[in-house]
Structure 1
Amino acid sequence: MYMFSLTQPLIHSVKRSIDILGALAGLIVLSPVLPIVALAIKATSPGPVIYRQWRVGKSTPEQVNLFEMFKFRTMVQNAEVQSGAVWATENDPRITRIGRFLRKTRLDEIPQLVNVLKGEMSLIGPRPERPAFYSNLEEKIPFFTERTYGILPGITGLAQISQGYDTCIDDVRRKVAFDHSYSLSMYSFKSWLLMDMKIIGKTLLVMVCGKGQ
């Protein structure tokens, strides 16, 4: 416990510095790609280029924080008007042609770098869940809410690289275990650093090989 109390503030400080530098570098390096992606989205389906969605952020036992997450739109406009909030399915007909490519390469998540700069997300952390699913998941999955206690949700993370998009509650249940494993790695500076390097390496592999979902 003593080691943890000394190590965790250092990890959070270094992690936040890496987030800011990484997000700025990512936006600069990817800036030539952004207008191409925007034009492709506008040319293939009507609707906004950027999709905004409320997600659950870093929380405490007393308070659940929400933030507005940004993504490149990958689905048809008003995809959930009639159905309400539902999980995506394999070969989901709501996903546009360009949207499928953006998901496979994870390029749809580039706008989340803005969330990182705003301090609402980290480059690496638990997946930010949708408030519409939160109460149900909290009721059915033990220790679900604890996964984001004191930790910013991430653009990528151990759960995201180990499993694709959620399609059912069992997918979320498996991801919770990965999220808690990531939290445990933060008890030691060395274990956290090795874990983050592993996640970054696998994330880049997913993007280059188009293995996203």
Structure 2
Amino acid sequence: MSTDLAKRPLLRIVGGLMEASNSKSTAPFVTISSWGVQTPLHHHIGGVYCYTKAYGSSYGRLSIYLSQDESLDMVVGGKMWANNDSSSNTPVEEFSWGYTGPDASVIKSAFSGYGWSSTYKHGYVSCDLYMLTNPSGAGPIGGRYYSTNNTSTATKVTETFWGLSDGNEVGLFNGYNYSAAYKEGYGYATIVLPK
């Protein structure tokens, strides 16, 4: 099998969805954010504790929609922002990846929830995503979501994975989560960029 990415049909992130329930996930899920195109190829990434007007303390689930259709806008970059618990301070950029130029469409707070940052410690974090149609550069070709304990010191357990893994893995979004392995812990969503 060829490892030349140019010869393989690649899945592209063309849309996404964040839904939330109460903190125990026993209430109906409500849509927090929806962006891009919803395709039949729907992938649940992971979850994060968050705040919603509907439930107050809530648990959110993060999903992406994938397609091989090159005519659709695709995710080409992202930025992770941190704030205090009430999001009342100035957001601070934690990290960025890919293309975040002025000609890209910006999906503000595509995913958000409670997380940790070097500036605010325990606070609220959000992820902006950038989309373009048929960009010259490469977008994500895969990704995973893994869980650890709430101090990120335990062994990382992969919860979900999509696409290809032969590339450079970078952060997409992270926050406090629930997992079967660690119960109350911390989750990391990553994406894989071509080498």
Q: RCO (CA 8 Å, sep 6+): is it higher in 1 or 2?
A: 1
The structure with the greater share of residues assigned to strand is: 2
Report which of the two structures shows the higher radius of gyration computed on alpha carbons.
Answer: 1
With normalisation by structure 1, the TM-score equals 0.29
With normalisation by structure 2, the TM-score equals 0.31
